[in-house]
Amino acid sequence: MRSQVSVTFKNTAPVRIELSPEQALERELARKWLDDQFTNMECEPLRATGKLLMADRVVVVAQAAGPAKFADPQWALEFAQAASAVLGKPVINVDADALSITY
């Protein structure tokens, strides 16, 4: 199944990454990649309880990465693969500034 991940930041054009079925990532590898990025970028949970849903992790990593990280095509592809695998949706739209995600 083809999928698309879009990430938007204020005052920049949206980043759109198209994924073919061959580019799919296993869910556990995707989870580990997001966990590693979350830790490496010293991200903080969105909720005061500390509970972190996978959708929260995706949006927080996107926000921490900023437009600069998404300018790197390899990093952007890996993000899209991980987001698509952990969320299991064919179309994912991340608004990094608003910390929101829609499908």
pLDDT higher than 80, residue 51: no
Backbone angles phi, psi at 66, to 5 degrees: 65, 175
**1-15 CB burial, b ≥16 within 10 A, e <16:** eebebbbbbeeeeeb
Q: What is the mean pLDDT of the chain?
A: 94
12: containing domain: 3-102
DSSP string, 17-32: EEE-GGG---HHHHHH
pLDDT tens column, 59-78: 999 999 999 999 999 999 99
Q: What are phi and psi of 53, to 5 degrees?
A: -75, 160
Kindly tell me if the per-residue pLDDT of 48 is higher than 80: no
pLDDT bracket for residue 50 (50, 70, 90): low
In this prediction, residue 52 has a pLDDT band, given cuts at 50, 70 and 90, of confident
Report the number of distinct structural domains present in the chain. 1
